[in-house]
């Protein structure tokens, strides 16, 4: 090193003042080297900062469950959460500002390369009206009903409108709202028909305050995906646990709600009861 580190005036030689400082720095360097090895090893216990992005449509209270499960199992992991539009999350991943992001994608689509996409669940959409609504579950009736939808640019809205137009009808837009809670409130009040995730309806205890309408051939889903740039080393196990928790949440909500069907022309109080066998 070009410097005298030992005091040779005594026997046996011992470290001088400079030597003691070099030894202290060397020990710190070794500890940092081991920490770097641990950080990149997929076998090590997850630790350090994990930066997670959430698409706006996924940023709801129920996600606290898998996040709490992660921090309980891996207490050395520190989380930093942020909610953005999906396009902005992709930009921040590529810029190195996020480690992983949970997003919603059209079925069959993936994040743009070089981002890596892991589809973990399917998010089923339902057409719903208020509990007192009288819209029938066919495209003609839905074409006459007022709609509460996301603003233009939403791929779910575009898919719905495309399916209605192929059936020969155009939805009458009564409200364009980029907030699921407000959309649900408008639907429950009878303001219009809406398009909402089945899991959102169930988890907001709204299952008895709306009716589900399923017109012919309607089956609309979107994919729930975990997106990242590359390997995450020791943090990979933490992300796997997060994926598992997200998957359980969506699987629990993917049981279809019974559809309310209307019988035309016969009031409910005049329908004849079928004789019991």
Q: What is the pLDDT along the chain (277 residues), one digit of tens a residue?
A: 667 766 677 778 776 666 567 667 767 665 565 555 444 545 678 888 999 999 988 877 778 889 999 999 999 999 999 999 899 999 999 999 999 999 999 999 999 999 999 999 999 999 999 999 999 999 999 999 999 999 998 899 999 999 999 999 999 999 999 888 999 999 999 999 999 998 888 877 656 789 999 999 899 999 999 999 988 888 999 999 999 999 988 887 665 554 544 444 333 343 444 444 4
* Alpha carbon 196 to chain centroid, angstroms: 15
Domain count, the chain: 2
Q: How many Cα atoms are found within 13 Å in the side-chain-facing hemisphere of 212?
A: 20
**Same structural domain, 118 and 231:** yes
**Same structural domain, 226 and 189:** no
What span, in angstroms and rounded, lies between the C-alpha atoms of 142 and 163? Answer: 12
Q: What are the strands, taking DSSP E only, across the chain? A: 6-7, 14-15, 48-55, 77-84, 100-106, 116-130, 146-149, 172-176, 193-197, 210-213, 221-228
Q: Would 147 be classed as within a structural domain?
A: yes
**Same structural domain, 84 and 119:** yes
Q: What DSSP character marks residue 11?
A: S
The pLDDT value recorded for residue 100 is 96
The pLDDT value recorded for residue 185 is 94
* Domain closes at, from 220, 243, 267: 220
The pLDDT value recorded for residue 264 is 42
The pLDDT value recorded for residue 270 is 39
Q: Would 30 be classed as within a structural domain?
A: no
The pLDDT value recorded for residue 238 is 93
**Same structural domain, 243 and 166:** no
Q: Would 25 be classed as within a structural domain?
A: no
**Same structural domain, 96 and 227:** yes
**Same structural domain, 105 and 56:** yes
Number of residues written out for the chain: 277
Residue 82 sits in a domain whose CATH number is 3.40.190.10
DSSP string, 220-267: -EEEEEEEESS--GGGHHHHHHHHHHHHHHHHHT-SPPPPP---TTS-
Please provide residue 2's backbone torsions phi and psi, each rounded to the nearest 5 degrees: 80, 20
What span, in angstroms and rounded, lies between the C-alpha atoms of 230 and 29? Answer: 27
Q: Would 12 be classed as within a structural domain?
A: no
**Same structural domain, 60 and 179:** no
Domain extent at residue 100 = 48-123+222-252
Q: Would 171 be classed as within a structural domain?
A: yes
Q: Would 245 be classed as within a structural domain?
A: yes
* Domain closes at, from 204, 220, 236: 220
- Say if CB 205 and CB 253 are below 8 A apart: no
Task: Name the pairing type of β-strands 193-197 and 146-149.
Answer: parallel
**Same structural domain, 119 and 226:** yes
**Same structural domain, 156 and 204:** yes
Please provide residue 181's backbone torsions phi and psi, each rounded to the nearest 5 degrees: -65, -45
What span, in angstroms and rounded, lies between the C-alpha atoms of 213 and 201? Answer: 14
**Same structural domain, 66 and 198:** no
Residue 198 CB neighbours (<10 A)? 21
- Say if CB 180 and CB 198 are below 8 A apart: no
**Same structural domain, 143 and 189:** yes
- Say if CB 132 and CB 217 are below 8 A apart: no
The pLDDT value recorded for residue 202 is 80
**Same structural domain, 55 and 99:** yes
* Domain closes at, from 198, 220, 242: 220
Q: Would 155 be classed as within a structural domain?
A: yes
Q: Would 118 be classed as within a structural domain?
A: yes
């Amino acid at each position: 090193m070009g410097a005298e580190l030992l005091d040779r005036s005594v026997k046996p030689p011992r470290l001088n003042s400079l030597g003691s400082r070099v030894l202290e720095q060397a020990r710190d360097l070794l500890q940092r080297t081991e920490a770097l090895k641990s950080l990149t090893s997929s076998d090590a216990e997850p630790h350090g900062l994990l930066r997670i992005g959430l698409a706006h449509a996924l940023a709801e209270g129920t996600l606290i469950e898998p996040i709490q499960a992660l921090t309980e199992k891996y207490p050395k992991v520190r989380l930093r959460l942020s909610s953005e539009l999906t396009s902005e999350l992709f930009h921040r991943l590529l810029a190195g500002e996020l480690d992983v992001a949970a997003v919603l994608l059209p079925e069959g689509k993936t994040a743009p390369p070089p981002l890596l996409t892991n589809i973990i669940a399917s998010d089923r959409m339902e057409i719903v009206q208020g509990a007192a609504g009288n819209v029938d579950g066919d495209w003609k009736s839905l074409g006459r009903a007022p709609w509460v939808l996301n603003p233009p640019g939403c791929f779910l809205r575009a898919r719905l409108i495309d399916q209605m137009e192929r059936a020969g009808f155009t939805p009458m837009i009564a409200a364009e709202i980029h907030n699921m809670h407000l959309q649900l409130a408008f639907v429950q009040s009878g303001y219009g028909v809406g398009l909402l995730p089945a899991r959102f309806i169930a988890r907001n205890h709204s299952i008895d305050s709306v009716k589900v309408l399923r017109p012919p051939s309607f089956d609309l889903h979107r994919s729930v995906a975990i997106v990242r740039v590359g390997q995450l080393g020791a943090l990979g196990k933490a992300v796997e646990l997060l994926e598992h928790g997200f998957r359980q949440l969506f699987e629990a909500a993917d049981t279809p709600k019974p559809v309310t069907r209307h019988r035309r022309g016969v009031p409910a109080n005049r329908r004849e009861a079928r004789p019991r066998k």
